Amino acid sequence: MDEFSHARLEIDLQWKAFDGRFMTVESKTANQSWQCHNPDQDHKITVVYDIQLPTQVQLKFSGKQQGQDTRTDEHGNILEDMAVIITEVRLDGFAGNHNLLHNRLVLETDQGHSITSNFMGFNGILTMDLAENYVLGVVSQWNC
């Protein structure tokens, strides 16, 4: 391992409540774990990991009752929805761009579906595969 494979990963999360209730997010890396089900009053948290590249980071989203934690109007438009939004991901201060947030984050739902989005409105697991052994390699993959 060299100095370029050691990194600080930051993931900004924002919760959307439904009737005052929130989804739970659990996270695991090779050497850290974290859990939150009651975010602070502005419903935002930054999760910080000290990682060694290459690695994988998993985020598990749970606590949403399908069919009960989404409110729609008579036309099916969503009015209120329990969810967690990944608003930004940074590796050693380098932020992932629109491509990462909207094309590279894939949630594998408990029902076996794959959803590509930064809007986590289903129970399931998101695995971020940081496969390169240096920071700029990972960021380059994110943003291409």
Instruction: Report CA 10 to chain centroid distance, whole Å.
Output: 10
Whole-number pLDDT of residue 77? 94
Residue pLDDT, tens place only, 109-140: 999 999 999 999 999 999 999 999 999 999 99
Percent of the chain with pLDDT over 70: 99
Q: Which domains does the chain have, with CATH numbers?
A: 6-143 (2.60.60.40)
Taking only the tens place, the pLDDT of each residue in 43-80 is: 999 999 999 999 999 999 999 998 899 999 999 999 99
Q: Which of 10-19, 36-45, 88-97 has the lowest mean pLDDT?
A: 36-45
Contact 140, 99 (CB under 8 A): no
Give me the numbers of helices (H) and strands (E) for the chain, helices first please. Answer: 2, 13
